[in-house]
Amino acid sequence: MSSLRYLIDFPVRMPRSPESHIANVLIRSGLFGVTRYGTNQDAGKWRIQGWNLSIALEGRKLSQKDLDVWLVCLKEGVRCLGQPVPFGIRRALGLLGLNPNGRSSAGIRESLIRLNQARISITQGDACYDGRLIHTLNRDLSGNRFIYSLDPGLVNLWLPGYTRINMTHRARLGRNQYAKWLHAYFSSFDRVRPHSFEALRMLCGCEEKSIYGFKRKIVTASKIIEKNLGYAWGIDSRDRYFLRFPERE
């Protein structure tokens, strides 16, 4: 089955839409964490107890910058799974709110290659997928225009549920990976769900050994979200963190 719309009522991106759509299981699995950009660490296998979710990643750990680039791919590629889709570096820079310089362009190219090399095996209940995040990737001689395709099998991960992520809002969070991770992760819930800091540290893949140090990073990121998006956040009486989306009140 080559079309996502053939299987489920998946919203088709309209012109000038600021949204991209991603399966909840991919956001909640820790696949895209807060790892250092370009790290050579192997990701390995892990299991998320709360959602009966198991995942294995062959390749380097993936960051929020990699998720940024994959969300750009999903905006177009999800409408024509298995078919070649053009990817323009300049357009991606605009969607991600990045300065059109050599460093930003090189970062996008590196993420595309990393996503093409990343092979995942993921299972949640009856939903499963075994394949690459970017199925095929080719580029012209200039290195500024790529042609990619997404595996039709990805559709299985959208069946249990998916999340609309506003790319314009995400771009306002700048380069803070913790702010972007919090925004994406809590976007996948339709109501406020407090989490312990230990759970958040595990889910985002933070290597901060001190829970106090991690907590400071979350507070700093939350202030960025509050300042740029106006979302309220807090810590409840049980020392659990929550992020509140005003449009869901």
Q: What is the DSSP string of 133-191?
A: SSSEEEE-TTSSEEEEE--GGGHHHHTT-EEEEEHHHHHTTTT-HHHHHHHHHHHT-SS
Task: Look up residue 178 and give its amino acid.
Answer: Y
Evaluate whether 18 touches 167 at the Cβ level (below 8 Å). Answer: yes
CA 119 to chain centre: 15
Q: What is the CA radius of gyration of the chain?
A: 17
State residue 44's pLDDT score: 62
The answer for residues whose C-beta is within 8 angstroms of residue 190's C-beta and 6 or more apart is 248
Bridge-based pairing state of the strands 145-149 and 119-124: unpaired
Domain segments of the chain: what residues? 4-163, 174-248
Evaluate whether 186 touches 33 at the Cβ level (below 8 Å). Answer: no
- 44: helix, strand or coil: strand
Instruction: Decide yes or no: CATH 3.30.1370 for domain 174-248.
Output: yes
Q: Give this prediction's pTM.
A: 0.87
Tens digit of pLDDT per residue, the chain (249 long)?
Answer: 333 333 344 443 433 455 788 888 899 888 899 976 544 555 566 555 556 778 888 888 899 999 999 999 998 887 788 899 999 899 999 989 998 888 999 999 999 999 999 999 988 877 889 999 999 999 877 766 899 999 988 888 888 888 889 889 999 999 999 999 999 999 999 889 999 999 999 889 888 889 999 999 999 999 999 999 999 999 999 999 999 987 655
What's the token pair of residue 134?
């970017």
Q: Which of 171, 181, 184 is nearest to 220 (CA)?
A: 181
End-to-end CA separation in angstroms for the chain:
38
State residue 45's pLDDT score: 60
What's the token pair of residue 119?
């092979």
The length of the chain is 249
State residue 123's pLDDT score: 85
Tens digits of residue pLDDT in 186-228: 999 988 999 999 999 988 988 888 999 999 999 999 999 999 9
Task: Look up residue 247 and give its amino acid.
Answer: E
